[in-house]
A and B are shown apart, each in its own frame.
Chain A
Amino acid sequence: MSLKVLSEKYIRIALAGNPNVGKSVVFNNLTGARQHVGNWPGKTVDKKEGVYKKGNITAYIIDLPGTYSLTAFSEEEIVARDYIIYEKPDVIVNIIDALNIERNLYLTFQLLEMGANVVIALNKMDLAEKSGIKIDTRSLERELGVPVVPTVAPRKEGMEELVHKVVESSSKKTSAKLRYSPEIEKYIERLEGIIRSSADINKVFNPRWIAIKLLEGDNDVLDKIKGMNGGKEIVSEVSKIKEDMKSELGDPEVAIADARYSLISSILKKVVRGKGKIPASDLLDKALLDKYLGIPIFLTVLWAILQFAFIGSAPFCDFLGDLFAFIGNFLTGITGIPFVDYLLFGDYGIIQGLGAILSFVPLIMALYFALSLLEDSGYMARAAFIMDRAMRKVGLSGRTIIPMIMGIGCNVPAVYATRIIPDKNDRMVAILTNPLIMCGARLVFFSAIADAFFGAYAGDVVLSLYLLGIIMVFVVAIILRKTLFKGKASPFVIEFPVYQKPSLKVATVRMWDRGSLFFKKAGTVILIGLLVIGVLTVTDARTLSFTDNPENALISAIGKAFLPIFAPLGWDWRLIVAAIFGFIAKEIVLGASAMLYGVGEEEIASKMASMYSPIGMYGYMVFIQLYIPCIVTIGAIKQETGSWKWTIFAVAYGIILAYIMNFLVLVVGHALLR
């Protein structure tokens, strides 16, 4: 896994390409297990790095985010182009979808404009041939002035040739000379000439590229050069040239895009024969997007995914839970100091808490795995399409449906899955509302309690809590959209990739990366949380020394202190404390209440049934359903929002909402029964 095998001399390669072109597969082919996934500093964009090593060739490979363009449109695009500008990789491998060559070359052209050393991997060649598209790679090479290697990534075809070409071009600079129509070139050259006179800017940037970007009105590039030597003169010239350009050609940005596309068309006329038709994909779309069948099919797919995740992960989850219980019990007494002993190994100590959290990791991984398959297959875009209309009504984008569904398994991967939502505000609303979806851990508590209180209606009661969660997502989303994140959901634009068989290998790698990443990232928050709860549980409230009875501990004192607030809900202090424990992981509420009431986990439900009315208990369940996210989810929220403010907001509004809803249940419930 280590990247430290890099020797003194190595080639630095960056992979660039549109989304859905098979970039991840190429990356995996080249790096194998020698890869590392992280975040770009300060961004919520994945950073994947790896090492290629074969014979005497060593290369450092970075997988840039998949983008359609290199403007300043999104975080991904800025990350990708800043890397190319400032890190200056030796070679950029531009992966192109042969089925979709026209649109893909738009990005290629922008890479070439930057003066980058490009090698093209023309991927999905098998599918292109099958669909009747013939591409003459030699003449494409001639037209573009850079090497083109045909590949079929899933079968590893063309990989050796690709590496060979990369090594070749790493030692010599390819000189691709794309020239657009004379009407456009005249303006580019005019500005380029002025830029060339600033030595400072020339040192860092390619002057032609800067000229094009400034004409396009790229504010990010403008900011970059403004402060540099000669920047001011350039900026004042830009507006003059743009005015001239506008009066002749219309909007400069559109004119330049037009110039790229017309050059692409004229090149493709010489290079490509045949028009692609993919009958299987057409047929699938007809069924999956059907006006009446579309949504039922979508729900069935989701149901299957959740079934797979729950059933497939159950043995591993149980095993991990048991393992930690065993370790905890086995090590109890080993330190000889009761305080430390209970803190580490006790029933609510750190080891058991970790066990409770870790036992959800297999479920999380199974969800990642299934999600990756869904993403690769091309169905995800269709799902967003189907749901967009309904989601838009509450101010969410169609893509939000994916994290919402994941939340039914676990809110943690769901919060990370919001990365598929491009707009920042859309994404924030999706993150902040996600914990309201009932996760698998809450289900554990609800099923046990509902059984004892509601007997034959237990299933309906749990279902009602599910629905309540979803309704609350919509309600809170609408409110957030009207207040803190004003405006409508961003325009919905999504590409429909051609359906394809998903790669099990990519899914496995992604599952592993994500599963371990969230632990690395959320680990600190989890440990602090466990430590705080642990100390509160083993410290006597009066003497501040060790106690083995949670009833006398600080945590109970806190529970009792909050009693006046929760008394209107009819709780006693034990329910408060159990809810606090639920902060670690929601399923702990069950065990914690059993301990506090001094009964076994099997009897806790009936014990509660003897103490609380069904309405009172239903209120408590509603509270547990809606209140704070668990520690791990909070860690995920912190990481993905990048702000403590929003993390605290997520916790605070949850508690307030839960309290209000609990209270409403009591009021309405008693009114109905009277």
Chain B
Amino acid sequence: MPLAFLPEGSSATIVGIRGGRRLVRRLTGLGLTPGTQVRALRSGYGPILIEVRGTRLALGKGVAMKVFVEVSA
């Protein structure tokens, strides 16, 4: 499912990014690669705030819709 729908407080693993070269490049530099664990600190309203590789990143709704995750058990 898209990262944008990840409920607040839950964790997931990135499975892929469906976007242009630029977006992939940008997100890769910030540590968002397939297989990475993310946790949603805030979601639902406007941009989403996640924790990834020990940092906090805010992603706009549009971006968060292009990042696909699998909720970890």
Contacts and interface: CB of A to CB of B under 8 A. Distances in A.
A103 interface: yes
B30 interface: yes
A510 to B, nearest CB: 24
Contacts of A494: 57-58
A493 B25 contact: no
Interface string A95-106: 000011111001
A289 B49 contact: yes
Given A73-B26, A261-B33, A103 B62 contact: no
A103 B53 contact: yes
Contact of A103 (B42, B45, B46, B55): B55
A495 B31 CA distance: 11
Nearest to A258: B33
A491 B55 contact: no
A492 interface: yes
Interface in A252-286: 253-254, 257-258, 261, 275-276, 285
Contact of A491 (B29, B31, B35, B63): B63
Given A100-B54, A495-B57, A496-B58, A68 B30 contact: yes
Interface string B57-69: 1111111000000
A252 to B, nearest CB: 12
Interface in B25-41: 25-31, 33-36, 41
Interface stretch (A177-185, A384-392, A530-538): A384-392
A254 B28 contact: yes
Q: How large is the interface on A (under 10, 10 to 19, 20 to 34, 35 or more residues)?
A: 35 or more
Given A289-B49, A389-B46, A493 B57 contact: yes
Contact of A496 (B45, B55, B60, B61): B55
B25 A103 contact: no
B60 A289 contact: no
B25 A291 contact: no
A274 to B, nearest CB: 11
Nearest to B31: A103
B22 to A, nearest CB: 7
Contacts of A106: 29, 31
Contacts of B21: 217, 253
A521 interface: no
B57 A496 contact: yes
A417 B6 CA distance: 34
A381 interface: yes
B58 A493 contact: yes
A89 interface: no
A491 B24 CA distance: 11
A48 interface: no
A69 B29 contact: yes
B interface SS class: mixed
A73 B30 CA distance: 12
B30 A495 contact: yes
B29 A254 contact: no
Given A261-B33, A289-B42, A291-B45, A103 B54 contact: yes
A258 B28 CA distance: 9
Nearest to A264: B53
A121 B36 CA distance: 27
A249 B46 CA distance: 35
Contacts of A435: none
B53 A493 contact: no
Contacts of B47: 385, 388-389, 398, 492
B1 interface: no
Contact of B60 (A101, A285, A291, A493): A493
Contacts of A99: 54
Interface in A472-493: 488, 491-493
A71 interface: yes
Interface string A339-374: 000000000000000000000000000000000000
B27 A493 contact: yes
A381 B60 CA distance: 13
Interface in A197-235: 217
A384 B29 CA distance: 20
B54 A276 contact: yes
B33 A495 contact: no
B73 to A, nearest CB: 21
13 contacts: A67-B29, A69-B25, A73-B22, A100-B55, A261-B33, A291-B45, A388-B46, A388-B58, A388-B60, A389-B46, A491-B60, A495-B58, A496-B56
Given A493-B58, A495-B58, 16 more contacts: A68-B29, A103-B54, A251-B24, A253-B24, A254-B28, A261-B33, A261-B36, A261-B53, A275-B54, A285-B41, A385-B47, A389-B46, A389-B61, A488-B62, A492-B59, A493-B57
Per CB-CB distance, the 8 closest pairs between chain A and chain B, nearest first, are A492-B60, A69-B29, A389-B46, A496-B56, A68-B29, A491-B63, A257-B28, A385-B58
